[in-house]
Structure 1
Amino acid sequence: MSLWTQFYFNEGKKIFKWTHYFPIYEQHFQRFVNRPLTILEIGCLSGGSLQMWKSYFGPQATVVSIDINPDVKQHEEDQIHIRIGDQSDTAFLQSVVDEFGPFDIVIDDGSHFSPHQIVSFEFLYPHTKENGVYLVEDLHTSYWPEWGGVKRPGTFIEHAKDLIDTLNAYHAREAIPVTEFTNSTTSMHFYDSVLVFEKGRMLRRHDVTIGRDENGVRQRVERQSLPYKKTR
């Protein structure tokens, strides 16, 4: 059953999601279905999305959520664990990582304030597994003036724009430092209100020409090779 079908015919606890998010979820999450995994969703609200993830990913999934509201603790059930704390409190985040991490998937559907999103990302991204996914949603708040948005320094969108440069740092000829983000990120996917980071380790980047020359001889020529740089 597709994630959209589960959402549309939901008769459990309330789920609040923008409808155009579901193709994004399916695109990046489908490979984890019916496999052992740990998913962390920042923000619990009515608990419905946690039940949706539990149903979608299957019986081997561990679903973890963090929320600042102690009342949401009532939404715990088999496979679903809720911890109460602030997503911008790194000591609290460390306690969650110590208990459940590292994570295959992290979804930030928490406060939607950019400073909180940035702190959570900078802390939790290194604790997302090597082939994991980190998804930040409801990024339209980066464009709301009352939330400090619209192309202002400090929004998550502006933070992410800088990360595009970091992703491509190997090609900047040392003008941009290679970081662990460079080495551990294969792609960034920008959608309406959503940004998805796909992790994976690329140890070597090289440019190869393959084909037959003017004499019909097949050749393989390595034109450029960018040396892998270790990072902390």
Structure 2
Amino acid sequence: MNLYADFLQNQMKVVHKWKHYFPVYERHFQNWVNKTVTVLEIGCGRGGSLQMWKRYFGPHATIVGIDIEPRCKNYEEDQISVRIGGQQDPAFLQSVLDEFGPPDIVIDDGSHVMSHIAATFRYLYLKLPKNGVYLVEDLHTAYWPEYEGGFAREGSFIEMAKCLIDELNADHTLGVVPVSEFSKTTTSMHFYDSMVVFERGVHTRKFAPMTGTDPV
């Protein structure tokens, strides 16, 4: 299924997404299509993206949306559940985990407020399974004051993600950056226009073999 083609042909609830997001979604989500997968979308909008994920991931997917707006409960249907609460509230997030289990994929399209994004990431990320994917979108707001952002502003999620690059490479910092659970369980970080994607995994022993034959 081509996700962007599905978006263009959508006749169901409204979906509002930047065009350049779609190749990113497919690049990082394609391995989960038609698998048993739990997808947590933070921010339900007008309900269309929940339906889009249901179509994309297929009949074995559980789609969970969270939002602060009670009207979003009306978006529930087969395979789609919605829970009402704040993304920055750890007790609420834990209640969602208790009910549905750890999500395989998180898509943060919620309040876009920097402190909310950071709080959600800190609470949820290490609870994802070892092959989980955590995607934060609309991070152009990290540069806008009304979302607690600003260029190089301490506390923005972009600045937080920049620091996590060092944590990803902690093994090579000669002890300057301690090796953390993030270091041990994150295999990659991907930066795009307005998006950051984190992929979890298990690190094998690091070594650098050499092959080939030197000319005589």
Q: TM-score, normalised by structure 2?
A: 0.97
Describe the SS at the equivalent of 1:130. coil
Note the C-alpha offset of 1:213.
4.7
> Structure 1 runs of 4+ off > 6 angstroms?
none
Question: In structure 2, what is the Cα distance between the partners aligned to 1:122 and 1:145?
Answer: 22
Report the equivalent of 1:212.
Answer: 213
Instruction: Provide the residue aligned with 1:56 in structure 2.
Output: 56
Give the structure 1 partner of residue 165 of structure 2.
164
Partner of 1:175: 176
Percent of matched pairs sharing the same residue: 60
CA distance in 2, matches of 1:148, 1:118: 11
Checking the alignment, whether the CA contact within 8 Å between 1:183 and 1:203 is kept in structure 2 is: no
- What is the DSSP-based 3-state SS (H/G/I as helix, E as strand, rest coil) of the residue aligned with 2:212? strand
5+ residue gaps, structure 2: none
Is contact 1:66–1:87 with CA below 8 Å preserved after alignment? yes
Q: What is the Cα deviation at residue 214 of structure 1?
A: 5.8
Deviation at 1:132, TM superposition (A): 1.3
Matches within 5 A, 1:10-49: 10-49=10-49
Bigger strand fraction: 1
1:67 aligns to what? 67
Cα displacement (A) at 1:7: 0.4
Distance 2:137 2:200 in 1: 17
Cα distance between partner residues in 1 of 2:103 and 2:144 = 30
Larger radius of gyration: 1
2:53–2:63 CA contact under 8 A, matched in 1? yes
Q: For 2:122 and 2:111, locate their aligned partners in 1 and report how far apart those are by CA, in whole Å.
A: 16
Displacement of 1:147: 2.4
Q: Confirm or deny: 8 A CA contact 1:101 1:127 kept in the other structure.
A: no
Query: Would you say how many aligned residue pairs link Structure 1 and Structure 2?
Result: 215
What's 1:5 paired with? Answer: 5
TM superposition shift of 1:151: 1.1
In structure 1, the gaps of 5 or more residues are 216-232
Aligned to 2:112: 112
Letter in 1 for 2:124: L
Note if contact 2:112-2:139 (Cα within 8 Å) is conserved in structure 1. Answer: yes
